[in-house]
Every structure is written in structure tokens, then in C-alpha cells.
Amino acid sequence: MQTNRIYLDNAATTPLDAEVIAEMVNVMTNYYGNPSAIHAQGREVRTLVEKARKTVAGLLNATPAEIFFTSGGTEADNTAIRCGIAAYNIKHAITSKIEHHAVEHTLTMLLKQGVIEKLSFVNIDEKGNVDYAHLEELLKDNERSFVSLMHANNELGTLTDIERVGEICEQYEAIYHCDTVQTMGHYVHDVRKLKAHFIVCAAHKLHGPKGVGFLFVNHNIKISPLIHGGAQERNMRGGTENVYGIIGLAKALEMAYSEMESHQQHIQELKDYLKNRLSTEIADLNFNGETDADKSLYTVLNVSFPAMDMSDMLLFNLDINGISASGGSACSSGSNIGSHVLNGINADPNRPSVRFSFSKYNTKEELDIVVDKVKHIVSQNVTA
């Protein structure tokens, strides 16, 4: 493991917490039965899985029967969208042009396949904010709709008022799916107050293991499985459960909730610090999306730098300087697809953008190094 690097790509994935690892290793070492088996080893593993389900449900103010474990956020999104639309024979779906591909591509495919007849895109502004009045217009003018709008954009960090969306959807009897992958474990989600029919989680976004997540399905909604096979997950998701992953997910979410306030304060300070230092040290910056604390996910800061020679090499230059981040640019030509999110907010295609995303493990000392490195790279490459 390269310990001298600075990791600022936590919106993509987070390092496993040591306590999560210990919990998983204990189960790997001592509990090996198949949870579907009726013998003692199977029953004790089934008990662990159901205890984890109860933990997750309790944190969300859900019932255990509303929690279904999946392979991650993409499967959970696909299940909610495909199965929710099929169960209610919905022909009209509403989303935005800056949703995660797990949502956008799934809905586009359903349109191509004729499963839905119309796909509408709610208006968003240059910060990535949803136009709630337009959402209501779309719901008014169509039959019962399926709405899929995320809580926080994974590239910009802009937050959507999902309680408000839920209330609008309830008014028009729409089915509401909310991609909460980026915010699960970072904000409290009370599903009894949030009027969403589906929300999702990917454990690796909150210091849990990769390859596991969950789908919350409101008890008022009845859907059929996406993956058929055995009777696992109460006949809702065929395939032997990822026991170690499920245990790790529950532990990671439990820790995230118990430490949420202190971590939010620490990470918000890091985000504000980097924003202020970059603004001071580098001229002509743009910050994409909302950056105010009450409007933006505190773990994400998206920065557009001045136009520069070989702008597509900015991330590479950061990488060789020991800084892990992600990003891209808006589409500038037919051969350059670019970021669909930056395209969706009409970002300047000539500016390279970097998404810095933080975790509880980052420090201000690291950010000082980042600013110095970025300043040097930009000064050497800015277009005259």
C-alpha cells in the first residue's frame, strides 16, 4: 500500500475502517455456514444477517422487512427503477440530466425497449439545483409517473431537497426513487419522514466493503425481484447472501451514525479550507455546483481550473505528484464525451475540472500540500 499518497477520491470509494475489517474477519474466520441451511452453522449465520438487517433498519427508522441487501448501489437502483416501473405499469418517468449512470442509463434503456413511453428531464440550473415548479408541471401533465432524483450529485455535491420532492410526488401519486448512495452515512435518513418509496446504499462509500449495499423498499410498495433464483432476501433477491459484506455494511453504517456530527464538522472544515486556499492561490477558478454548507454535500468540492495546455493531463499530473482525485471536463468535441454532469450544467468545456472528495482520514496538512502541487501544475500549463 502506498502510504505517502494523498487520497481525495472518497466519493468514488473510501478506505475500510479498521473496526469494520475486524468485524468481517471475525465472521470470515468463525462463521462459514450457508444462511439458507437449516443446520446449526446455517442458523447462526442467518442470525448474523438478520441482526445486521435490524441494525440498518433501526438507523433508518425502517422495519427489517423493508431492507433488502444487494451487491451495491447500481443493483439497488436498477431494482428500484425496473421493478417499480413494472409493478405499476408506469409509462412515464422523470429524472434529471445529471443523475448517476445507474439511473440515467437504466431509464434510457427502458425507453428504447418500450417499457416506458416517455422520459422527461426536470430543469436544473447552473449549480445543479432541481426546478421544483417544473417537476410539478411534469407530474401534472402526465399519467402516474416514476420519479428518480438523487439526494446529492456525485460530481457536484449539490443537494436536492428530497423531502420536498417526496411531498410533491405524494401529491400526484408518483412513485419516488432517490439515489442516496453519496449521502448514506453522512446524513440522517428517517424513512418515516422521507416520502420516498426507494432509497439505496453502497457500503464502500462510508468506509465499508465493496460489492454490497441495500435497497429500502417502502412497505406500501410491492415489487417482483430483479434477480431470480433461490428464496434469499425473502424471495426478493436470488443468490447466496454476501454475509461478510452485509456484516461489514451494518458495522460501517452504525459507526457512521454514531460519529456523524464530529465527522461532518471535521470534513466541512476541510472543504472550506481547500476552497479558500485555492481561491487565494490560483486566479480565475470556478467552483461547480453549490458550495454553501446547507446546499452542498460536505464531502465534495468540484473545481474548474483555468484553460490550460493539455488540460486532459491535469489529473495525470496530480497522480504523478501523489494526489488521487477524479474529474474531467464538459464535452468540447464530438470525440470527447466528457462529464455528462458538467455538460448538464453547461460548464465551460475548455476548463479542466477536478472533484476533490474528503473523508474523516484527511487533514489540513495534506490539503496544504495539494494546494502547492496544484498551483505549480496550473502555473506551468495555463494557456497564455
Annotated catalytic residues are: 331
Q: Residue type at 55? A: T
Say if strands 175-178 and 118-121 run parallel, antiparallel, or are unpaired. unpaired
Question: Exposed/middle/buried for 52, CB within 10 Å: 0-12, 13-18, 19+?
Answer: buried
Q: Which helix (H) or strand (E) holds 295?
A: none
Q: Residue type at 289? A: G
Q: What DSSP string describes 323-357? A: EE-EEE----BTTB---HHHHHTT--TTS-EEEEE
User: Which long-range contacts (C-beta less than 8 Å, at least 24 apart) are formed by 329-332?
Assistant: 329/353
Q: Which helix (H) or strand (E) holds 51?
A: helix 40-60
132-142: string of b/e by CB count within 10 Å (b at 16+)? beebeebbeeb
CA-derived radius of gyration, the chain: 21
Q: E-strand spans in 35-130? A: 67-70, 92-95, 118-121
CA distances from 188 to 220, 271, 292 (A): 22, 20, 19
The Cα 103–Cα 178 span in angstroms is 10
The Cα 88–Cα 251 span in angstroms is 35
Locate 298 and state its grid cell: 460536505
Q: What DSSP string describes 252-284? A: HHHHHHHTHHHHHHHHHHHHHHHHHHHHHHSSS
User: Is the distance from CB of 189 to CB of 180 less than 8 angstroms?
Assistant: yes
For residue 301, give the 3-state DSSP assignment: strand
